Amino acid sequence: MSQLEISPVESTSESASEYSSFYVWTISGAAFVYVIVAFGLSAIPSLSRLALYASVMLLAMLILSMGKLKLSLWMLVLTLFYLYLALPALALSNVPIYRLSTLTTVFLGTLSIGIALQNRMLSYKALTYGAIAAAIINVVAIFAGVETSSHDVEAIGRYSGLMGNANALAISMALAAFLIWLYPERFSRQVRALGIFLVLYGMYITGSIKGVLMAMALFALVFMNHLVKLSMVRILAYLSAAAAAVLALYGGLTAIAAKYSTQIVAIDRILTAFAGENASINARLSMIDFGLKLWEKAPVFGYGLNQFATLSKTGSYAHNNYIELAVSGGIIALIFFYALYAIIACNALKQSKDFCIRLLLLVATLFMIDTAAVSFLDKGIMCMVGVLLAVSSEEKTEESDRYQT
């Protein structure tokens, strides 16, 4: 997208050198803290508040550097989206303060990290290693018996670590892997392998169907990194082999589940989902149906933030980003939010072939995640959105020159 400059701005590489080491270290430190909380500690209230403090510090540092920053259209769209939901929520007496606080934290974190990355005031590697550290912390916590949702472990064998929700843990571990494989050439073979392990292990310990879908998306990303360099004949051969592997995998899962379904929860949940017998999916389909009926009565402006939980009398959000947005802010909220995805996709078309494919695949993954998560209130998912907005907005450059801080 075109850059909206607020002052005569030098090239990105030149302007990066003008930021003092104090700015770079402070911003990288605050972003590192935000990412660890967003990707790994969301269920611990005392630590979760660190994300708000870190995002405020990030924004303060960026304001101090305002004269040197380049701004983009996505920053305006994100701000309008936040204001559209937040301002009316202040007038609603039934919106919990924690919900408005979460929306504010997500907005500040996404905006600040995106601006810092785009202006090369933040190391991409620091951001990625923060997400990896968060995933490792959760793995260690699970091995140590620290669990924020012990009921799920005792009842159905699903672990949530320090995220409070098994699906959230699976998604956060997968997002850490996506950050690695967005720029695979910037990380060692061992780190790339760690990314694949995190996705697979997250899928295994959480029993999350979303975790399985995220694993498939990651393997597609890994596969596409090699696919773009091949001839059409070899591409067709690989795709045929992949299709055969998927069929063989399904057969293998069926056989394994018959013997070990109680030990491998993810396999059992996948197969029951295919059979239409998964209670969780059926419950969410009911939420979607109820949400659509609400939206039909207020299609343009919706009912306000958190009103699905109030009107459904369940006290729960919709578990679906499209429905939660439609009920909260109607068509206008949907347009504002998905304009961000459209900006990433449009910018991706201006990039090199392989990087364009990576970006578009990750946008497709975000659309998939939105069918089963309220993404606009999730720090980790929105952090990924901010990263994609920033890196896609960069002018087309050689891969080796991207985000060297």
User: CB burial class (10 A; 0-12, 13-18, 19+) of residue 255?
Assistant: exposed
Distance between CA 8 and CA 139 in Å, rounded? 47
Distance between CA 272 and CA 279 in Å, rounded? 9
Residue 269 inside a domain? The answer is: no
Residue 246 inside a domain? The answer is: no
Residue 404 inside a domain? The answer is: no
The separation between the first and the last C-alpha atoms of the chain, rounded to the nearest angstrom, is 23
Distance between CA 25 and CA 126 in Å, rounded? 10
CA dihedral 208, 211, 216, 221 (to 10 degrees): 180
Give the sign of the dihedral formed by CA 37, CA 39, CA 40, CA 45. positive
Q: Which domain holds residue 159?
A: 7-229+278-398
Distance between CA 108 and CA 116 in Å, rounded? 12
- Scanning 72-96, the segments in alpha helix (DSSP H) are 73-89
Residue with tokens 């916590």: 141
- Scanning 228-320, the segments in alpha helix (DSSP H) are 232-260, 265-274, 279-297, 307-311
Number of domains forming the structure of the chain: 1
Q: What does the buried/exposed string (b/e) look like for 33-46 if buried means 16 or more CB atoms within 10 Å of the residue's CB? A: bbbbbbbbbbbeee
Q: How many CB atoms lie within 10 A of CB 8?
A: 6
Residue 14 pLDDT:
38
Residue 402 pLDDT:
45
Kindly give, in sequence order, each residue whose CB lies less than 8 Å from that of residue 126, ignoring residues fewer than 6 positions away.
28, 31, 32, 405
Residue 168 inside a domain? The answer is: yes
Q: Tell me which residue of 126, 2, 12, 1 sits closest to 69, measured CA to CA.
A: 12
Residue 265 inside a domain? The answer is: no
| pLDDT, block means (10 residues), the chain with 405 residues | 36 45 84 92 81 91 80 95 95 86 94 93 90 92 74 59 86 93 92 90 79 81 69 58 56 48 52 54 84 94 93 85 96 98 95 88 92 93 96 67 42
Residue 143 pLDDT:
84
Task: Say if residues 192 and 225 touch (Cβ distance below 8 Å).
Answer: no
3-class secondary-structure state, position 70: strand
Residue 247 inside a domain? The answer is: no
Residue 242 inside a domain? The answer is: no
Residue 213 pLDDT:
80
- For the chain, the residue count is 405
Residue 141 pLDDT:
87
Residue 241 inside a domain? The answer is: no
Residue 108 pLDDT:
95
Kindly give, in sequence order, each residue whose CB lies less than 8 Å from that of residue 243, ignoring residues fewer than 6 positions away.
none
